[in-house]
A and B are shown apart, each in its own frame.
Chain A
Amino acid sequence: MGSYVPSTQQERRRMLDTIGVSTIDDLYCQVPKEVKLQNLNLPQGKSELEVRSCMEALAQKNMQFTSIFRGAGAYHHYIPAIVKSVTSKEEFVTAYTPYQAEISQGVLQSIFEFQTMISQLTGLDAANASIYDGASAAAEAAAMCRDRKRQKVLVSEAVNPGVLSTIRTYCEGANTPLEVVPVNDGVTDKQALSQMLDETVSCFYMEYPNFYGQIEDATDLGELVHQAGAKFIMGCHPIAISLLKCPGECGADIAVGEGQPLGMPLAFGGPYLGFMTCTQAMVRRLPGRIVGETVDLQGKRAYVLTLQAREQHIRREKASSNVCSNQALCAMTASVYMAAMGSAGMRQTAKLCMSKASYAAGELCSIPGISQKFKGPYFNEFVTRCPSSQNILCALEEKGILGGLPLDEESILWCVTEMNSKKQIDQMVEIVREAVK
């Protein structure tokens, strides 16, 4: 049996004597007898060696694809070696929320650096220390915009379905109305949006690039939203906005996103990282932890959790959110990734994604019967019309390739990143060509 309890039987005896009871069970005297558990129906404990083989066997039941052309919210990017090396340091792994700033300057400074990098990336003034993931960040962003007069949340239909579902759940929780703005040719229907923007709308959320990979004219949509007196929230792919007009340039009030592409593995969906940034005007409405610069009593520069008057441990039911942690280790992962890549490396990654996606789309559409579904510019994802999506995906799977995400029987959402070499793309296209013959 494995155990991480260091004390020996003799030591336990000594401790009981000091306490003045005869058995450990005496310490549970307040637990009603009728509900005390006799036996836990779990397997017997195992040695480390046994547990390792058990868990390795589970891992082996999964299929690891040799090339991946699927994104849809989880992206396969290269993770530089320095990222894992830094974030495996045990001090970082085993620390907690830096309540005691004097012995937590390392963590606090790393969060301050993260906030700065994210603010740079999005072109907005302030960032929080991160939140659970991109979807919950979007839902929290919508909650930041509510006031007494303006409650309604508008969300483009062209956003990730998991994100939409999360915003909807949060809105239903707070009894906030939500309406979905329809999509037209793969992008938000601008006319419908302008009709739906009435004086009860608090905010509009769109994604950039959107779920179908399309790069929408965010500036244009943002102007419409602002004319109606509502707030404009953009959900962004963090690598894309190193190359594309950033949320700050598009007039966003709040930018959020899924930070997973910044050095986090696919990991069957988590842990990932939600980032949140906003304009100076909204900083006191940001949920979650925020680290700020200050000085110690000797005037030395230092960092501390700040603006805590917003938070649940002080405000309780009047808090702006219940969030009381951040994804600190994931935020550090993103920081090390961005430091290793630098702005040139981020742009290079973005360009590789865009060029390879364009090449793959061109090659796929050279196959009779396959065509691109939408005509607008795209980044690393695009949708094709094709005869039978299931046939195509099965043929790819047989060769160890994870094809795009089937949206329906006749369309597939493909994703191409710097991880897909030309050779991989050509091989994938050939298999598809055979499959649709």
Chain B
Amino acid sequence: MKLIFERSQEGRGCSILPACDVPEVDCSPEISRKAPLHLPQIAEVDISRHYTELMKQTHGVNDGFYPLGSCTMKYNPKINEEIAALPGFSKIHPLQPSHTAQGCLEVLGLAEKYLCEITGMDHMTFQPAAGAHGEFTGLLLIKAYHKSRGDTARTKIIVPDSAHGTNPASAVMAGFTVVNIPSGEDGCVDLEKLRQAVGEDTAGLMLTNPNTVGIFDKNILEITKTVHDAGGLNYYDGANLNAVMGVVRPGDMGFDVVHLNLHKTFSTPHGGGPGSGPVGCKELLSAFLPSGHVSCEEDGTYGFDAPSPRSIGSVKNFYGNFLVVVKALTYILTLGREGIKEAAQNAVLNANYLMARLSDLYDMPYAGPCMHEFVMSLEPLKKEKGVTAMDIAKALLDHGIHPPTMYFPLIVHEALMAEPTETESIDTLDGAAQTFREIYQQALDNPQSLHDAPVSTPVRRLDEVGAARNPKPTYSF
């Protein structure tokens, strides 16, 4: 595949802008750029074809089954995209006077109201642009809360070893020390270990529930109470909310602050970004929310809250990834109170069904029922035949299936974590199960063929070590 720079020809280009209709001004030589600027010189037809070629070498949810665990790659409804593209949303300046942006403010107000209802929270900020960004924001709320009470000894955040890597990384960014606690044999929080870990230095606990092995922690009320009794707060990582929305709410389980991933649970496309990671909180944290929180007057007009002197400030400019919120609101209005729950239930049904279709062959370290995802371990197959989780994943590529998440969570050896989501039909699941089973048989009969996979993709396995040793992040002209 040629790079776009390799398609460039001196003198080519597109005709986009008109001639200048006012006297031209030149910048003085001392502030002018002298460095060369190599951007492609390319006709529109070649730009179009270049990206069409790139498109053909890209696998999205639209191209096929994408059971990437913990990423909730559900179908992205087309109406969402059309609504977000309405000029009445896309052409609004973020610093327009509030009375000229009532529609945008109402979108944020309604999305807050509905998402608070779904999570059991009192307030929400849409400023964070992604899940990890939301974690950072939520932890800053916890930090500000303890500080406001003069409780400055609370410097530790407890994180189970099954957590996403962003949890400990976010805690450090927010100035906390991380206390890792091991999970029990059932993959859930070890209550005894938690009791030993909490104390007067506990700022809070970060928990994903259902957790990353796809299990709903049955001790959840005991867990959150243990942290509260020690004076800490509970943070809910909403990465896996898709399993339980409409069924049970973080706010009712004892959580004080939660982030959501609108690009997972609420059907907005991932696109590798832009995402949106709104943070909801209980009343006790509301004074610390970032700037730009929408308020609604009694007469129905929308505006912004006056800046709170105790606010944590801003985590990005303006009010967040607004158009992503538009898409999520479109989705919530479509599904409504019944549809939200139905989505969660079918996500769980689909995961359990696929798990049941595979559990006679693949090792399932945690017995079902699972929630929206389940984890397989390829450890036995590796011991027996030398076939790894990576080999199975790469073989799936030859069958047009995006592999499950590999080597996560870290507490499972040779892990493959599969999340089918509710938008897949039984036909798709049956087809995928058949493929998984054939690959398993292939591993027994001809392990070498799996080490060689994939064979049908545009490129074969890559030299990742070489790429990291001599990083080449740009093209050399």
Contact = CB atoms under 8 A, between A and B. Distances in A.
Interface residues of B, number: 194
B457 A96 contact: no
A82 B321 contact: no
B413 interface: no
22 contacts: A4-B343, A16-B349, A37-B246, A40-B117, A62-B100, A70-B96, A88-B81, A90-B62, A94-B271, A103-B57, A105-B57, A105-B58, A116-B475, A126-B471, A126-B474, A215-B31, A293-B467, A318-B172, A324-B132, A339-B47, A342-B14, A377-B28
A132 B348 contact: no
Contacts of A42: 114, 117-118, 332, 336-337, 340
A282 B383 CA distance: 42
A298 B273 contact: no
Interface in B391-435: 393-394, 397, 402-403, 405-406, 408, 422-426
A121 B114 CA distance: 43
A394 to B, nearest CB: 9
Q: Which of B31, B71, B458 has the most CB of A within 10 A?
A: B31
A317 interface: yes
A98 interface: yes
B33 A241 contact: yes
A294 interface: yes
A108 to B, nearest CB: 9
Interface stretch (A148-156, A190-198, A365-373, A418-426): A418-426
B136 A339 contact: no
Nearest to B48: A82
Q: Which of A112, A169, A308, A359 has the most CB of B within 10 A?
A: A169
A89 B51 contact: yes
A14 B66 CA distance: 23
Contacts of A89: 51-52, 55
Contact of B92 (A31, A35, A95, A266): A266
B171 to A, nearest CB: 7
Given A37-B252, A61-B106, A340-B47, A96 B55 contact: no
B228 interface: no
B471 A162 contact: no
Interface string A18-61: 11110010111111101111011111111010011011101111
B186 to A, nearest CB: 10
A91 B56 CA distance: 8
A74 B47 contact: no
A127 B471 CA distance: 11
A235 B251 CA distance: 40
Interface stretch (A180-188, A199-207, A221-229, A242-250): A242-250
B143 A173 contact: yes
B89 interface: yes
Q: Which of B61, B102, B462 has the most CB of A within 10 A?
A: B462
B60 A302 contact: no
B104 A245 contact: no
A74 B91 CA distance: 11
Nearest to B312: A169
Contact of A359 (B22, B27, B317): B22
Nearest to A26: B369
Contacts of B118: 40, 42
B13 A165 contact: no
B317 A134 contact: yes
Interface string B55-90: 111111111001010010111110101110011111
A95 B271 contact: yes
A56 B22 CA distance: 38
B356 A405 contact: no
A292 B217 contact: no
Interface string B9-21: 0000110110011
Given A95-B60, A422-B22, A41 B102 contact: no
A423 B130 CA distance: 42
Contact of A355 (B20, B51, B171, B273): B20
A12 interface: yes
The 7 closest A-B pairs by CB, nearest first: A59-B88, A269-B318, A45-B336, A328-B272, A271-B274, A269-B94, A94-B60
Interface stretch (B38-46, B194-202, B441-449): B38-46
Interface string B146-171: 00000000000000000011101111
A281 interface: no
Contact of B423 (A4, A34, A397, A422): A4
B32 A397 contact: no
Given A40-B246, A377-B27, A397-B97, A113 B14 contact: no
A268 B37 contact: no
A339 B82 CA distance: 26
A101 B462 contact: yes
B462 A327 contact: no
A123 B37 CA distance: 8
Given A45-B333, A322-B136, 15 more contacts: A4-B77, A18-B357, A27-B349, A37-B247, A39-B337, A42-B337, A58-B106, A95-B59, A105-B459, A270-B323, A271-B129, A293-B475, A312-B166, A342-B40, A351-B20
Nearest to A319: B169
B168 to A, nearest CB: 4
A103 B59 contact: yes
B317 A133 contact: yes
Interface string A304-331: 1011110111111111011111111110
A253 interface: no
Contact of A343 (B37, B316, B393): B37
Q: Which of A101, A268, A291 has the most CB of B within 10 A?
A: A268
B281 interface: no
A93 B269 contact: yes
B92 A322 contact: no
A321 B47 CA distance: 34
B244 to A, nearest CB: 7
Contacts of B426: 7, 11, 14-15
B473 A160 contact: no
B54 A106 contact: yes
A115 B4 CA distance: 12
B232 interface: no
Contact of B317 (A86, A91, A269, A397): A269
Contacts of B16: 78, 80, 340-341, 345
B234 interface: no
Contacts of B333: 43, 45-46, 51, 54-55
Contacts of A385: none
A2 B333 CA distance: 9
A174 B474 contact: no
